[in-house]
A and B are shown apart, each in its own frame.
Chain A
């Protein structure tokens, strides 16, 4: 099983081989289209716990079907979206959420991307400032020619015919 899964992983196919049912099926769909749309949106945020990072909306596993039906059951019973999510988290834990909630455990997860961006920007800005300071000093020294270079430059200018002479 492990080898099989590694194999499937290898080719970026997120499917559990061997099962036949698939994603949302005709008999699951609710007659109320607004409620069905809500169910679909919720399903996309919920993980099929036996699959590899698949939402229950995409998954073929029987467990995903059970969860889809459960979501629809709760919606039919008049739960709000948050209530449905809370119900599922109470039952299955945070693992069921594909978008983890913000809590001390996930601070790093949520804040690292913006921090990386800000940190990178600050580092660049500081680097540029430091370079600019040291750079202008270097540049100033580069602009001054040595006596030898001055003499060579004079010779070159004298040897080169000016554009007017060419005409």
Chain B
């Protein structure tokens, strides 16, 4: 009964979405405030119905109701409670329901916090939002209903894929979706601007916080997914240039470009047409990601053809929305007025360069991900595009980007002084050169790549710090005044500093991990000692343990450094009985930002066990970087000038209109 209620709630949400997608538009056309306000109530009601539908699915999973196909296929009565909950979105149908729930959540937030938006703009935005929602409700109801029943309910479920039975599943997909789907807001705003034929700096002000929220979640979601893969897969890789990862990287690159172009638009009223295009692209790439992941096209073009219903449906949604929005753009964009002028060497110029490089990087990932698919469809030839290709094409684009990055915030708007900026970056440049020389001397020549990359990273970090130091006059004015100025500095300046420094921090982590990773692969028996990067790891022994829905073999290692015992590490191999699948649970020991990493292989006939031990220097910086970036984003978001949908000028404008 409860499953049917969830299903019905979803149908009602579709009905509401259809109303929300049409009436407010008519209202905007006829200038009827009552009709335009339908958008607000419909969006909130829609959120309530989708939320109840989602809550129903969670209840079904928690109560292990195996009469529902979705629960039967992805759950097990012995599964720990947390994985019963997270298992809801650990499958196709459930994750699509999460997708629409988050979409409705963003729509609801715009409805609730968008009171200061001009009424027609809000009506347009929420309508566009509802078009997207309607398409995906239809998709779920027609092809991926999570509430289907089984005629003869089985007594036990098939359990969730063991790889997904991890805390990572609780955090990673919701965050990623908050990012993906969050870009729908900037998309809706862009379409609304095109429909209204009006766009100004205030528009950028409204869009920026939403884009920032989506970007923060996407950044954290990607970083989280990367860390999850790192510890779960058992061989210490953290980025694979896998099409699925690329699918999330593309919107991130476009979104990062969008954030920067929105700054130009808000401050200088320039780059309007380009910003609109980026808003459309960022969400289109999110849709593309959904298509790539959900249609099965990645597994093989043939798998897609053999079960075409879902794939074709999403492809259709993709074509309608991307094609439609781009056509609308081609038709209406010329109507938008161009804004302020600027010299090539200026803050705007730097941000344009940022956009050029980020969008090219995005195009590179796009081509690399889709080319093999397209080639196979067109010519039947099969080729692979993997990490070596991306390292060769994507990597070099980041070199000019990172060199230019510290200059951007130091240049003035309209016309900047490159020499002056360079002078103010002297300290950062010196720090980079010293770092370069130290690393060079330390590794004693050899690879030139690593010292150069570390020098570049230090330059980026130093540049970010110098920007703030310049602004508060550190070392130029007495310390007390500098501290006073620092506390008065807008939070968005601090945000820029953290986000930019985060890029450098991540780069240091990436370089160190890839260059100085030590590896030990050997068969060991109890009592053997492995020596890795100065650490001694002694295998104390193996024993068996029974978990809630698995059996595991645990190895215990004593880790010591210079004869002094540091800690015990216990990697394990789990065997999940229901699916007959095995996972490796790596053991991690964190020392500063570096980690020791042990994962187990198979036991051989002679009683030895295959062991892989890595020492990964400064590996944690790879994820600390994105965390810093997200923190910077959060600081910018909390800036008074940018608080979600609180642009002052609009209010006074409305006041004026009312007085007329």
Give residues in A with beta carbon < 8 Å to B: 2-15, 17-18, 20-27, 29, 44-45, 47, 52-55, 58, 93-100, 105-106, 108-110, 112-113, 116-117, 120-121, 124, 128, 131-132, 135, 139
Q: Lowest 5 A-B CB distances belong to which pairs? A: A98-B386, A99-B388, A113-B364, A95-B382, A14-B242
User: For residue A8, which residues in chain B have a CB less than 8 angstroms away from its CB?
Assistant: 161, 163-164
Q: Are A7 and B161 in contact, with the CB atoms below 8 A?
A: yes
* Contact among B162, B226, B385, B582 with A109 in the assembled complex (CB-CB below 8 Å): B385
What's the least CB distance linking A75 to chain B, in Å?
17
Residue on A with the closest CB to B371?
A: A109
User: For residue B521, which residues in chain A have a CB less than 8 angstroms away from its CB?
Assistant: 24-26, 29
Residue on A with the closest CB to B376?
A: A95
The segment from B2-10, B17-25, B90-98, B554-562 that touches chain A is B90-98
A58-B240, A121-B356 known; A53+B384 contact, CB < 8 A: yes
Question: Chain B interface: which size bin?
Answer: 35 or more
What's the least CB distance linking A2 to chain B, in Å?
5
Task: Give the complex CA separation of A123 and B303 in angstroms.
Answer: 40
13 other A-B residue contacts (CB within 8 Å) besides A7-B91, A120-B356: A7-B90, A11-B168, A11-B172, A12-B229, A13-B233, A15-B163, A17-B162, A18-B582, A21-B602, A94-B382, A94-B384, A109-B367, A116-B359
Whether, in the assembled complex, B116 has its beta carbon less than 8 Å from a beta carbon of chain A, the answer is no
User: For residue B599, which residues in chain A have a CB less than 8 angstroms away from its CB?
Assistant: 22
Q: Are B161 and A17 in contact, with the CB atoms below 8 A?
A: yes
Q: Are A131 and B173 in contact, with the CB atoms below 8 A?
A: no
Can you sample 21 A-B contacts with CB below 8 Å? A2-B307, A6-B293, A11-B172, A12-B226, A13-B232, A13-B233, A17-B581, A18-B580, A22-B234, A26-B521, A47-B386, A52-B298, A54-B240, A55-B386, A97-B383, A109-B368, A112-B363, A113-B367, A117-B357, A117-B360, A124-B356
Task: Give the complex CA separation of A105 and B385 in angstroms.
Answer: 13
Whether, in the assembled complex, B426 has its beta carbon less than 8 Å from a beta carbon of chain A, the answer is no
What's the least CB distance linking B269 to chain A, in Å?
14
CB contact list, B234-249 vs A, under 8 A? 234-235, 237, 240-245, 248
Q: Are A53 and B242 in contact, with the CB atoms below 8 A?
A: yes
Q: Are B91 and A106 in contact, with the CB atoms below 8 A?
A: no
Q: Are B173 and A11 in contact, with the CB atoms below 8 A?
A: yes
User: For residue B293, which residues in chain A have a CB less than 8 angstroms away from its CB?
Assistant: 6, 9-10
User: For residue A2, which residues in chain B have a CB less than 8 angstroms away from its CB?
Assistant: 296, 299, 303, 307
Whether, in the assembled complex, B568 has its beta carbon less than 8 Å from a beta carbon of chain A, the answer is no
Q: Are B173 and A105 in contact, with the CB atoms below 8 A?
A: no
Q: Are A112 and B367 in contact, with the CB atoms below 8 A?
A: yes
User: For residue A100, which residues in chain B have a CB less than 8 angstroms away from its CB?
Assistant: 383-385, 389
Q: Are B248 and A6 in contact, with the CB atoms below 8 A?
A: no
A24-B521, A113-B367 known; A120+B240 contact, CB < 8 A: no
Task: Give the complex CA separation of A23 and B610 in angstroms.
Answer: 11
What's the least CB distance linking A79 to chain B, in Å?
20
What's the least CB distance linking A104 to chain B, in Å?
10
A3-B92, A26-B522 known; A105+B228 contact, CB < 8 A: no
Whether, in the assembled complex, B547 has its beta carbon less than 8 Å from a beta carbon of chain A, the answer is no
Q: Are A44 and B229 in contact, with the CB atoms below 8 A?
A: no
Task: Give the complex CA separation of A132 and B338 in angstroms.
Answer: 12
User: For residue A9, which residues in chain B have a CB less than 8 angstroms away from its CB?
Assistant: 242-244, 293, 298-299
A45-B388, A108-B371 known; A116+B364 contact, CB < 8 A: yes
Q: Are B397 and A22 in contact, with the CB atoms below 8 A?
A: no
User: For residue B173, which residues in chain A have a CB less than 8 angstroms away from its CB?
Assistant: 10-11
A20-B582, A98-B389, A128-B344 known; A120+B523 contact, CB < 8 A: no
CB contact list, B82-130 vs A, under 8 A? 90-92, 95
Q: Are B523 and A113 in contact, with the CB atoms below 8 A?
A: no
Whether, in the assembled complex, B335 has its beta carbon less than 8 Å from a beta carbon of chain A, the answer is no
A14-B229, A53-B242, A100-B385 known; A25+B299 contact, CB < 8 A: no
Q: Are B338 and A131 in contact, with the CB atoms below 8 A?
A: yes
Task: Give the complex CA separation of A53 and B392 in angstroms.
Answer: 16
What's the least CB distance linking B516 to chain A, in Å?
15
* Contact among A12, A17, A98 with B388 in the assembled complex (CB-CB below 8 Å): A98
Q: Are A52 and B242 in contact, with the CB atoms below 8 A?
A: yes
Residue on A with the closest CB to B310?
A: A6
A23-B612, A94-B383, A120-B356 known; A11+B299 contact, CB < 8 A: no
User: For residue A20, which residues in chain B have a CB less than 8 angstroms away from its CB?
Assistant: 582, 602
User: For residue A99, which residues in chain B have a CB less than 8 angstroms away from its CB?
Assistant: 385-386, 388-389, 392
User: For residue B95, which residues in chain A have a CB less than 8 angstroms away from its CB?
Assistant: 10
Task: Give the complex CA separation of A95 and B382 in angstroms.
Answer: 5
Residue on A with the closest CB to B582?
A: A20
Task: Give the complex CA separation of A36 and B487 in angstroms.
Answer: 56
Residue on B with the closest CB to A110?
A: B393
Most chain-A Cβ atoms within 10 A of its Cβ — which of B73, B161, B243?
A: B161
Task: Give the complex CA separation of A167 and B356 in angstroms.
Answer: 52
Whether, in the assembled complex, B379 has its beta carbon less than 8 Å from a beta carbon of chain A, the answer is yes
Task: Give the complex CA separation of A113 and B396 in angstroms.
Answer: 11
Whether, in the assembled complex, B551 has its beta carbon less than 8 Å from a beta carbon of chain A, the answer is no
Q: Are A13 and B229 in contact, with the CB atoms below 8 A?
A: yes
